[in-house]
Structure 1
Amino acid sequence: MQNDIVDLRAKLAEKMAGEITLSQNPGDTIKKWRKNFEVSQIDLANSIEVSPSVISDYESGRRKSPGTAIISKIVEALLDLDEKAGSHKIRAYETMLIERYNSNVILDIHEYRSPIHLTRFSKLIKAEQVSGKFDRSINGYTIVDSLNAIFQMSSNEFYRLYGWSTERALIFCNVSTGRSPMVALRVTPLKPAAVVLHGLEAEKIDPVARKIADIESFPLMTTQMDIDEMINSLKGVKE
């Protein structure tokens, strides 16, 4: 079991360091991973023996991009802190590292190296903003065949829709009123940063679906963009 954690940690460290290094906005990517691991700037700073202002400066872009040595220290510190807390976050990423997704359920899943603003995201998919606040950023998206998800995924498997972060948009295709996916989101513990109902006009959204979006504070959108065109638009984002 210990060897499994070591191997998992090494794979995760490689992914994290690679993302930060290749990102055009490494500070944003550092912040994304720090938040994914639920680590404060103070705790991270203490772990790598710098002042919290240094972490803040990196994340805000006030300090020039860190070199590979600093990036390595940051990644190792986040993983060390998680291991001390029981390796819960490391284990949570195990599925994303070693399993393949069911392509009948997940039509596409993508993680951005740096967060992108939700307003920009909505423009990329020509979405109509239905409700909620759009003054936030997301780390990725998942395009889901909602009918296949209902028939083929257990409640315990639903978390796979979230990829590397819950700070993402879930785009549900094959919906008639939007009620079913919203009910599913209501009863599951993990919540997305935004929900998109594909192929549905805003006025045809079920009132219950709208109500759930309000209760859960999901920014809710609709789009009728072709799925392949949508995927190409979203993957063409310069990060």
Structure 2
Amino acid sequence: MKYLLVEDNLDLAEAISARIQLDGHIVDHAAKIEDASDFARTGEYDLILLDIMLPDGDGRSFLKEQRDAQNDTPIIVLTARSQVSDRISMLDLGADDYVTKPFDHAELQARCRAVLRRKSGSARSVVTVGDVEFDTLAGHLSVKGKQINLRNRELRLLELLLGSKGQVFSKQKLVDRLFSYDDDVSENAIEVYIARLRKHLEGSRVQIKTLRGMGYRLEHDT
């Protein structure tokens, strides 16, 4: 998963980013609304964590901007405001959830998982396609009943492909989804991860197809 964190407190931002990255996710960080808008306009994110009190304005303006632009990326608001009216206003603007500061990082992670499950339309973290079973929360892959250990990037690539069955992903789009803005990587890295996943999926009914000039698509035999 790829997260956009909008938070001007650098110590808190580093702490949140570290916890998210421990789970193997990617994080882009913006300290201002202006930067957050640029990130949201040029990238794709699975979840946005949004502080309200920012140096260049109120985070609710960013929230409204995203919903007005028909961006349905889940947004969890991080707020020090505890009044019911404030929380109601944020939910009415389109926030999917909120966490009141100070918060426990474990609670934040749990809320992120819950919002992402709702977004996918599933109450469970296990995705089953053909004879392949993938637990997105635990990071476990089972192929025809056999457990396979994956590296972090392989996990996130498989999660992306399984969550968007039938969709074609170009190499550049996969780079954008699997790496942060600051990472210096080439499209060749994607070829390496695709090759590794194909090897893990050998013998199963699930395949990663190459569409020449377009990219990759996950397919499975019924």
TM-score by length of 2: 0.30
Bigger relative contact order (CA 8 A; separation at least 6):
1
- Between Structure 1 and Structure 2, the one with more strand by share is 2
TM-score by length of 1: 0.29
